Amino acid sequence: MSSVEAPPAQLKQFALVSYIPDPLGAFLDDLRLALVPGCSPHAHVTVLPPRPIQSCADEAAEELRSVSRPFGDFEVELGDVEMFPQSKVVYIGLKRGELELHRMYRALNQGAVSFCEPFPYHPHITLVQNVDPGLVMPMFQKAEEMWALYTGPRAFAVHTLDFVKNLQGTCWKDLASINLRA
């Protein structure tokens, strides 16, 4: 998720994501590596951004599994390359699926994984973050160019969610997979 060393407090963080399958996922990983060489990409859309949790990981995963039972599969379609003005994070926005992700976020951001976000929840696909501000605009333009040339699928189905833990700032470990209703 991140391409720079995380402070020690971030090493105890957890998130809930849905990985993007290939060929779209592979293209997004290659795009991110072209923009930020040396990062550890694994293309995903975040349902619950990184946060500390209020219990052990197994209990939190079981709670997430229970609360997510009413949710079924849904489709996410990617839109244009955009940038958050305050954080200078470059990302791909969503054309479809944002409503479902917001519903999931509101339902799942409770109990053991409850957290008050520093920014409003805005589902997206991160391409560039935590880089020198002087490099952001050239990276943004390169991302736009490469995304415009991509001719493969721009949509994917969300069937599962993965509960992950930050291990070393740039390394995330999958702890539990949560299947959505078919």
Q: What is the pTM of this model?
A: 0.89
Is 3 a domain residue?
Answer: no
Q: Is residue 154, in this structure, part of any structural domain at all?
A: yes
Is 2 inside any structural domain? no
Q: Can you spell out the DSSP letters for 30-81?
A: HHHHHHSTT-----EEEEEEEE--SS-HHHHHHHHHHHTTT-B-EEEEEEEE
Structural domain includes residue 1: no
Whether 179 shows a pLDDT value over 70: the answer reads yes
Query: How many domains, in total, are found in the chain?
Result: 1
Instruction: Express each pLDDT in 76-118 by its tens digit.
Output: 999 999 999 999 999 999 999 999 999 999 999 999 999 999 8
3-class SS of residue 172: strand
Whether residue 166 is contained in a domain is answered as yes
Distance of CA 116 to the CA centre of its chain: 17
- Reported as a single tens digit per residue, the pLDDT across 126-165 is 999 999 999 999 999 999 999 999 999 999 999 999 999 9
Whether residue 6 is predicted with pLDDT greater than 50 in this model: the reply is no
| pLDDT class of 3 with cuts at 50, 70, 90 | very low
**Residue 137: both structure tokens together:** 């605009």
The predicted structure's pLDDT at residue 96: 97
Tell me the torsion sign for CA atoms 27, 28, 29, 32. Answer: positive
Per the structure, the complete domain to which residue 73 belongs is given by 8-179
Using CB atoms within 10 Å of the CB of residue 72, give its burial: 0 to 12 exposed, 13 to 18 middle, 19+ buried: exposed
- Could you tell me the CATH number of the domain that includes residue 133? 3.90.1140.10
What phi and psi, each to the nearest 5 degrees, are found at residue 36? -130, 80
Please write the tens of the pLDDT for every residue from 8-66.
444 589 999 999 999 999 999 999 999 999 888 999 999 999 999 989 999 999 999 99
pLDDT at 136 (0 to 100): 95
